[in-house]
A and B are shown apart, each in its own frame.
Chain A
Amino acid sequence: MSTSTLFAATSGFDSLTGGEVMVAQNIAFAIMAVTMLVSAVRMVTTRNVVHAALYLVIVLAGAAGIFILLGAEFVGVTQVMVYIGAIVVLFLFGIMLTKGSFGDDDGVDGERRSMAAMVGALVLAVMAAALIDTFRDAELSRAQPSLTADIGDLIFSQYIVPFEAISVLLLAALIGAIVVARGD
């Protein structure tokens, strides 16, 4: 591709009209939503625990994409760093350390599975009915992406007490996890 066509392509991107942006957003949403739902279903049904963790990564990455689509870039980046970077690694270590303790867990408890599926379907049906009834065609205004600086201001002014509580909670959880898992 020559420089001129590349330039034309980028300038064309800049001059997207509002309607075209909407279409692009909807396509992006559809792709991410389908990927997330398929991966989530595979995660709770797969027999291999490691595969389940990797499907969880896809769901979490999709959620990060949804956050960015909603203009919440800081939450999206935090999602990638904390969830995909740290929590999934923690899960993989947990799987490794308990490996071999578990055979296949399929074919057992068919009744339990059907009951769980029924509960899940009921939860979804009730929530979907309520949501569709309440927010029938509430449109998201094409809001500006939220600024990270504003979030920082808010956390360190209005929400300073919950923020400090969260940091103490994290410390307590850390110490608690060490005490619980320490082998003596």
Chain B
Amino acid sequence: MYLNQFLLLSAALFAIGVYGVLARRNGVLVLMSIELILNAVNINLVAFAAFGNQLAGEVFALFVIAVAAAEVGVGLAMILLLYRNRKSIDLTQIDLMRG
């Protein structure tokens, strides 16, 4: 197996996640796209861990998973608050601080 096949898969997933973050208007879907990006990063970390025969990459992948869990918890709480206050989670309507 080449290292590049994993890195390119990860790059493609990352790009799809970036598209999702930029294009979707639903707050929950934006959070899901962020999860996609974090997963692409994890694939990179584990692929390099296997490439260099070191475990540090896997340890950091575990840390990223933990941080992702925390991020989803807070993010969904914010989206729920948004929904309660504005009856909508359309991110294009959140323009209170627009300059």
Per-residue interface assignment for chain A, residues 149 to 160, with 1 indicating a CB less than 8 Å from any chain B CB and 0 otherwise: 011001100010
B81 to A: closest C-beta gap in Å: 6
Query: Are B50 and A72 in contact, CB atoms less than 8 angstroms apart?
Result: yes
> Roughly how many angstroms separate A79 CA and B22 CA in the complex, as a whole number?
26
Interface residues of A in 118-147 (CB under 8 A from B): 119-121, 123-124, 127-128, 131-132, 135-141, 143, 146
Contact of A44 among B11, B23, B53, B55 (CB under 8 A): B23
Q: A101-B88, A121-B15, A146-B58 are in contact. Are A140 and B36 (CB under 8 A)?
A: no
Q: Which residues from chain A contact B29 at a C-beta distance below 8 Å? A: 44, 49, 52
B: number of interface residues (CB 8 Å): 71
Q: Does B77 contact A (CB under 8 A)?
A: yes
Q: Does A87 contact B (CB under 8 A)?
A: yes
Query: Are B2 and A138 in contact, CB atoms less than 8 angstroms apart?
Result: yes
Query: Are B16 and A66 in contact, CB atoms less than 8 angstroms apart?
Result: no
Contact of B83 among A101, A132, A159 (CB under 8 A): A101
Q: Does A16 contact B (CB under 8 A)?
A: no
Query: Are A128 and B16 in contact, CB atoms less than 8 angstroms apart?
Result: no
Contact of A154 among B25, B42, B56 (CB under 8 A): B56
Q: Which B residues are closer than 8 A to A by beta carbons?
A: 1-9, 11-20, 22-29, 31-33, 35-36, 39, 42-43, 46-47, 49-51, 53, 55-56, 58-59, 61-63, 65-74, 76-81, 83-84, 87-90, 92
Query: Are B58 and A75 in contact, CB atoms less than 8 angstroms apart?
Result: yes
> Roughly how many angstroms separate A175 CA and B90 CA in the complex, as a whole number?
26
Can you name the residue of chain A whose Cβ is closest to the Cβ of B18? Answer: A120
Q: A98-B28, A138-B4, A177-B74 are in contact. Are A36 and B22 (CB under 8 A)?
A: no
> Roughly how many angstroms separate A170 CA and B71 CA in the complex, as a whole number?
9
Query: Are A181 and B2 in contact, CB atoms less than 8 angstroms apart?
Result: no
> Roughly how many angstroms separate A100 CA and B54 CA in the complex, as a whole number?
48
Q: A63-B43, A72-B61 are in contact. Are A127 and B73 (CB under 8 A)?
A: no
Query: Are A98 and B22 in contact, CB atoms less than 8 angstroms apart?
Result: no
Query: Are A26 and B81 in contact, CB atoms less than 8 angstroms apart?
Result: no
Query: Are A105 and B72 in contact, CB atoms less than 8 angstroms apart?
Result: no
Contact of B23 among A60, A72, A113, A136 (CB under 8 A): A113
Residue of A29, A95, A135, A151 ringed by the most chain B CB atoms within 10 A: A135
Q: Which residues from chain B contact A101 at a C-beta distance below 8 Å? A: 83, 87-90
Q: A43-B20, A98-B28, A138-B4 are in contact. Are A170 and B69 (CB under 8 A)?
A: yes
Query: Are B15 and A124 in contact, CB atoms less than 8 angstroms apart?
Result: yes
Q: A43-B36, A44-B29, A79-B65 are in contact. Are A70 and B6 (CB under 8 A)?
A: yes
